[in-house]
Amino acid sequence: MKVELIAYTPTAAGVCCDAAAICTASDNGYRSLQHSLASGHESVLEHAVFTFRVEGISRVTLAQLTRHRLASFSVQSQRYVKLDNPELVIPESIRNSSFFAEAQSSMRYMLNLYERMMEAGIPAEDARYVTPQAVPTSLIVTMNVRELRHFFSLRCCNRAQWEIRQLADEMLKLCRKAAPTLFENAGPGCVQGGCPEKKSCGHPRSKAEWDK
């Protein structure tokens, strides 16, 4: 997996501070922003956006990622881009199990079938139906700060599926570096004072993890 922050609102924190200040006719934008966030008035965060290039995630994680509807996605097409011996995304739980060889063989068989279908003239948009979900893809995704913070609250949680948690972790690291004021308290509930899950994982995360 490769994650890059390729663009974001210049002076993102300043834009959000201005938005918070204008709501209360304040001359102290930073204080207004802190008050807005403490009060749950997070609409002021929607004025700054961040755009990422993501490469090498599975179609499993793509399906989870696109459930976050307040975002824009541009995904590599399987209609127009032919799969060429892709490096499959296989979980460690499968790699370390007695099923690994069988799983790898089955997925390679389906990719070989895909190749033969294409050679026989079956359209790529139809041949792709036989490809495994482990096939990697690339995309550009854009979210505003409010949606990013919501995304991190769910997907940086230890209970999130491992691959999308890895993606969220990388995105949060980049966001904290680019705009620390906006993402200082971003992350799962355990870094904000309490776990919102009915049953805690018992292993709270630390904000320092995203500063590495």
pLDDT computed for residue 91 by the predictor: 97
pLDDT computed for residue 113 by the predictor: 98
**Alpha-helical regions (H) of 52-99:** 59-65, 92-95
Indicate whether 27 pLDDT > 90.
no
Which residue shows structure tokens 């296989």? 90
pLDDT computed for residue 12 by the predictor: 95
Q: Hey, where are the domains in the chain?
A: 2-74+138-211, 90-134
Residues assigned a catalytic role: 155
Nearest to 180 by CA among 200, 147, 210: 210
DSSP three-state, residue 3: strand
What is the mean predicted confidence (pLDDT) over 87-99?
Answer: 97
Reported as a pLDDT band with limits 50, 70 and 90, residue 15 is very high
pLDDT computed for residue 195 by the predictor: 82
DSSP three-state, residue 42: helix
Neighbours of 61 (CB within 10 A): 24
What is the mean predicted confidence (pLDDT) over 79-90?
Answer: 94
Which residue shows structure tokens 């948690």? 165
179 φ, ψ (degrees, to nearest 5):
-145, 70
User: Using one digit for the tens of pLDDT, what is the confidence trace for 34-57?
Assistant: 888 888 889 999 999 999 999 999
User: Using one digit for the tens of pLDDT, what is the confidence trace for 112-152?
Assistant: 999 999 999 999 999 999 999 999 999 999 999 999 999 99
User: Using one digit for the tens of pLDDT, what is the confidence trace for 170-207?
Assistant: 999 999 999 999 998 898 988 877 788 777 887 888 88
Task: Report, at the CATH architecture level, how domain 2-74+138-211 is classified.
Answer: 2-Layer Sandwich (3.30)
- Distance (Å, whole) CA 55 – CA 53: 7
Encoded tokens for 192: 């904000």
Q: Give a three-class secondary structure readout of 29-69.
A: HHHHHHHHHHCCCHHHHHHCEEEEEEEEEEHHHHHHHCCCC
| pTM of structure | 0.93
